[in-house]
Amino acid sequence: MTNLSHAVREAAGSVIDPELRRSLAELGMIGAVSAENGVAQVEVRLTIAGCPAAQKIESDVRAAAASVSGVTEVAVDVQVMTAEQRAELLAHLRPGGPKQNPFGPGTLTRVIAVTSGKGGVGKSTLTANLAASLAHQGFRVGILDADVYGFSIPALMGLAPDGVAAKPTRLDDMIVPPVGHDVKVISIGMFVENANAAVAWRGPMLQRTITQFLTDVYFGDLDFLLLDLPPGTGDVAITVGQQLPNAEVLVVTTGQSAASEVAVRAGVVARQTGQRILGVVENMGPLVLQDGSAIALFGQGGADTVAHELSIGQDKAVEVLARIPLSLGLREGGDQGTPIVLSHPADPAAHAINELARVIAHSGPSRAGINLGISPA
């Protein structure tokens, strides 16, 4: 191989696959490469025919090859992997083999289950913004959206531009999650035909789906996996407790006592199934009006009540980690699929969530009360 073709191979191979988030060289996606008289020819092997990322991969490879000094012309030949090549790739991505839950005991990923007692308190909005904020701070982040009552995560993460959630790519039995704002997202909303279909799901079906998401979705190495679960958590708390024994629970409430009472119950159920409480967030706090005055539409103090109640009998007090005000921008950002933590970090709600992300990132996983998986005789 000439020096020039070697340099072209290096450059093309360093392109990152937008979904799998690994280099094309590592993924075995670069085939034959030649470079003569300034003309570079690069063969790219897509994982599957009709790969949604094909155009981006092709243009990134073209740009990478063109950037090599001495190259004046680039031809990219797009092919599709053979079944053997794909099997090799899957074996490389899942060294433990298929059907393994990488987030079980001993995982290095911090799993954070965002929960609330009742719906509509901003759990999904917070999950999306927290994920985007952590990703923006350089962490590798995924979201598993299992909120059957309102799988809004794809839209909040810009992955449902026409109201229809992006479909994940399937590589044989592996599901590759779409990426929005640098966050890998998987949602029940990506698999149901119409938005009302899943609401009638009962516990066992939901539990099976969460288990399948954990085993079949390729998240790769993550620093954080955020779970958006249905409010109340009763149905899925046991599944989460069993499958994700390291999960930390972030309880979201508004200032309203009606919301905080049920939030306490959600926290208690989570704890009963072996999960630890990471802290409490009060959302929809006082809205600051143009004249500088503030109006507490949903009351105040709900999170303090929840934190207090969940601290009773514990060695370490449960803390209120953030207070997020009502914010027109936060709501609008959600509707547009652009998390406000990225678009308007100066907004008070964005600031509060960015600070929460920093607090969580620096707190380190709480090992207190860790479930050792030993049941009493």
Contact between 290 and 261 (Cβ < 8 Å): no
The answer to the question of residue 334 lying near ligand ATP (CB under 6 A) is yes
Q: What is the number of alpha carbons within 13 Å of residue 249 lying toward its C-beta?
A: 37
Give the interface size with ligand ATP as a residue count (CB under 6 A): 22
Cβ closest to ligand ATP, residue 147 vs residue 235:
147
Write down the least CB distance from residue 350 to ligand ATP, Å. 10
Give the amino acid at 143. Answer: I
Write down the least CB distance from residue 276 to ligand ATP, Å. 21
Q: Binding string to ligand ATP for residues 255 to 284, with x set by CB under 6 A, is what?
A: ----------------------------xx
Q: Which of 17, 60, 147, 282 binds ligand ATP (CB under 6 A)?
A: 147
Cβ closest to ligand ATP, residue 241 vs residue 325:
325
Q: Which of 5, 109, 327, 354 binds ligand ATP (CB under 6 A)?
A: 327
For residues 111-140, which are near ligand ATP according to CB under 6 A? 116, 119-125
Write down the least CB distance from residue 319 to ligand ATP, Å. 20
Rounded CA separation 237/229 (Å): 9
Write down the least CB distance from residue 249 to ligand ATP, Å. 15
User: Interior CA angle at 150 toward 147 and 152, to 5°?
Assistant: 95
Query: By CB under 6 A, which span of 36-44, 143-151, 191-199, 203-211 interacts with ligand ATP?
Result: 143-151
Q: Could you give the maximum distance between any two Cα atoms of the chain, in Å?
A: 76
Which of 259, 272, 273 lies closest to 116, judged by CA?
A: 259
For residues 195-214, which are near ligand ATP according to CB under 6 A? none
Write down the least CB distance from residue 53 to ligand ATP, Å. 29
Write down the least CB distance from residue 125 to ligand ATP, Å. 3
Query: By CB under 6 A, which span of 15-23, 60-68, 325-333, 354-362 interacts with ligand ATP?
Result: 325-333
Q: Which of 4, 89, 324, 356 binds ligand ATP (CB under 6 A)?
A: 324
Interacting residues toward ligand ATP by CB under 6 A: 116, 119-125, 147, 149-150, 152, 231, 283-284, 324, 326-327, 330-331, 334, 349
